[in-house]
A and B are shown apart, each in its own frame.
Chain A
């Protein structure tokens, strides 16, 4: 298989590194995980038909889909075999994207690790509680548990950036109530690259930038807005699946 552009691999690196972290590894687990993840990446590109053929990945149906898609448009995947990132992948992704340590991601009431409390909704098992199998469907609280994890990570990054030299929220004045369009766009681009490993589309930039008006209405400032942008991106299905 030809080497893929490094940027395309970024979103899936945590998954590649971790694999199925909380179940015993089978003899083919690594190979399976790598192949499927690579296929996922292939499907997001316009020029990987030959590569997917080489990897034995997407079937001829995908090729058909490619043939019926306008040039420049995303290629719909017929397999669409996405997996939900489990707690460790989610946590590691947030650590990497926001330059946080594991204990800076999310602590409920400042005391309890969110992952420990919500390990099952976050796709894990709880041996201590005799839950040895991953639930085969999303738990009712999965989305909300994910949101809590992401929102607090985004907020914790803000506190660190306010207390010291900003590391992530660097493109807007966090203490100011307004920012120029260019500053907002730079911050959105920065966060999108960190959380989704790509540049934002103009439509995405416009939508996220539009949150500034909502924040202003509520008396908030750039710091509040930056957290919302981070939250929106970190909880998008693109960030949560691989």
Chain B
């Protein structure tokens, strides 16, 4: 695993950037934590098919290449933000456009996993830390699970900073429905019964006694333990028992993070002495497919399940860096179904991630943030950013068939947060070639391609291409108050 991480760092700096640059600096916000939710748009989500579309009216048709992918577009807010004229992107812009920033960027890989890694680690610019590692290591010092990752593929891999405390490396969660169970060593482990070991409170006390015997007597006297006293694995186990396990259990996460109610034969919580979070019914009113409907234990909608857990992780200040991933209607390909049918795949998955994000935002807006002195009159959403990590773009040309839109490094991503100077689209899509151009980092003014004939793509070194992953990464972290040496940023998206 370490070799993979190191390989990532090496591969992430092809243009001579230093993977070791970027020491953390003081954070900008000292009034409590900021939260970042990364939604991995697995498979490659194209901005041309959502918030940087080309209008049918101006799309260029090339005799050999086809027509630039285009839509019947609309500007629901009456400003520069446009989208295909269909329910979901329109709804999202109306609800959250004022807090949304769409940024063009030029990726550096069209390999799925490598592109996923690079979009979340900014090509290694901050010592190889991922966005969530950077945020959690800044704000998560007092949190029990600062960084939780429900992603997959490159979105779930750790960054490359070997000096990052393991505490800020992501806890991998494969099933949000049942994750809470793994935060206690004993709660809910037997049906409630008459025996001492079957009585939750008594069992808790007895297990503590047994742990004490194990850790203070067996681990001291055992010949094995004496022989391997210096083993790193053994030390990690013992350190975790001493420092981390009690924190997880005493925080009662097994209840706070359990958002499903007793589901009878599907999930008989009460029989096992378990109860769900106070907000469970509120969550399921909004994310109504976030729970399992059969004994597979898998939610009817896995992305909604991730959002439900994300909400509780933020609401309870358990985590400040959280990664979700669109699992796809087929459980795997998600946006990469574009290879089969570009338009329907992009539409289906964009609509899906936007709808779930909209619900998550709604929940966070309804949760008041309390600081040490009590209610603040602000919500958790006021200190949260959602980043739609898009991996890479797709081919720009519609050849008239339904098969064959491939990968393209030119794309953009969407970030939504009250912490951003929203209502902006940085970069423009050129209707002659479908490529997104760059922009002035200070003003956001586009820098259109010049000297290109209709149907001609910009060269890879065209000075008017948008910025790379490292600058977008730096700008997003800047907005949540994470700073590091050598940070590139985009002042145009920063709130005054």
Point out residues on A near B: beta carbons under 8 Å.
Answer: 43-44, 73-78, 80-84, 108-112, 116-121, 126, 128-145, 147-148, 151-152, 155, 158, 196, 201, 203-204, 207-208, 210-211, 214-215, 218-221, 223-224, 227-229, 231-233, 235-238, 240-241
Q: Is the CB of B271 within 8 A of A231?
A: no
Say yes or no: is B77 at the interface (Cβ < 8 Å to chain A): no
User: Contact: A43 with B227, CB < 8 Å?
Assistant: yes
Known: A144-B248, A223-B195. A237 touches B182 (CB 8 A): no
Report if B337 contacts A (CB, 8 A): no
Kindly list chain A residues whose C-beta atoms are within 8 Å of the C-beta of B153.
Answer: 130, 132
- With A109-B188, A128-B174 known, 16 other A-B pairs at CB within 8 A are A74-B224, A74-B227, A80-B234, A82-B233, A116-B297, A117-B182, A118-B182, A135-B158, A135-B172, A140-B145, A143-B241, A144-B182, A144-B185, A203-B217, A233-B218, A238-B218
Complex: how many Å from CA A208 to CA B145? 33
Contact with A along B266-281 (1 / 0, CB 8 A): 1111011010000000
In the complex with contacts A44-B224, A111-B267, A221-B145 CB distance below 8 A: no
Q: Which residues of B contact A110 (CB under 8 A)?
A: 191, 268, 271-272
Within 8 A of A (CB), among B174-220: 174-175, 178, 181-186, 188-191, 195-197, 202, 205-207, 209-211, 213-214, 217-219
Task: Name which residue of chain B comes closest to A113, CB basis.
Answer: B297
| Contact indicator A203/B271 (Cβ below 8 Å) | no
**Cβ contacts under 8 Å, B157 to chain A:** 133
Chain B 141-194 residues near chain A, CB threshold 8 A: 144-145, 151-153, 156-158, 166-167, 169, 171-172, 174-175, 178, 181-186, 188-191
Interface size on B, residues (CB 8 A): 82
Question: In the complex, what distance in Å separates the CA atom of A144 from the CA atom of B153?
Answer: 25
Contacts of B227 in A (CB 8 A): 43-44, 74-77, 80
A218 to B153, CA, bound (A): 48
- Kindly count the residue-residue contacts between A and B in the assembled complex, taking CB atoms under 8 Å apart: 245
Chain B residues 228-278 with CB under 8 Å of chain A are 228-234, 236-238, 240-241, 244-245, 248-249, 265-269, 271-272, 274
**B372 contacts chain A at the CB level, 8 A cutoff:** no
Q: With the chains together, A36 CA to B271 CA distance in Å?
A: 45
B residues in contact with A237, CB < 8 Å = 219, 224-225, 228, 231, 234, 237-238
Q: Is B373 an interface residue (CB 8 A)?
A: no
**Any A CB within 8 A of the CB of B450:** no
State the Cβ distance, B184 to closest chain A Cβ, in Å.
6
Contact A139 B297 (CB under 8 A): no
The answer to whether B196 and A241 touch across the interface, beta carbons within 8 angstroms, is no
Q: How far is the CB of A57 from chain B (nearest CB, A)?
A: 14
Which of B181, B205, B238, B332: most chain A Cβ within 10 A? B181
Which chain A residues lie closer than 8 Å to B376 at the CB level? none
B23 at the interface (CB under 8 A from A): no
Cβ contacts under 8 Å, A129 to chain B = 152, 156, 174
B223 within 8 A of A: yes
Residues in B neighbouring A235, C-beta threshold 8 A: 214
- How far, in angstroms, from A131 to B222 measured CA to CA in the complex? 36
The 3 closest A-B pairs by CB, nearest first: A130-B152, A220-B196, A147-B185
User: B284: which A residues are within 8 A, CB to CB?
Assistant: none
Of A75, A109, A119, A201, the contact of B174 (CB 8 Å cutoff): A119
**CB <8 Å contact, A81 and B207:** no
Q: How near does chain B come to A125, taking the closest CB pair, in angstroms?
A: 10
Closest to B268 in A: A109
CB distance from A72 to the nearest CB of B (A): 10
Q: Which residues of A contact B152 (CB under 8 A)?
A: 129-131
Across the two chains, which residue of chain B brings its CB closest to A133? B1
Q: In the complex, what distance in Å separates the CA atom of A201 from the CA atom of B174?
A: 41
Establish whether residues B213 and A142, one from each chain, have CB atoms under 8 Å apart when the complex forms. Answer: no
- In-complex Cβ contact of A218 among B188, B205, B249, B297 (8 A): B205
Q: Would B169 and A137 count as touching, CB distance under 8 A?
A: yes
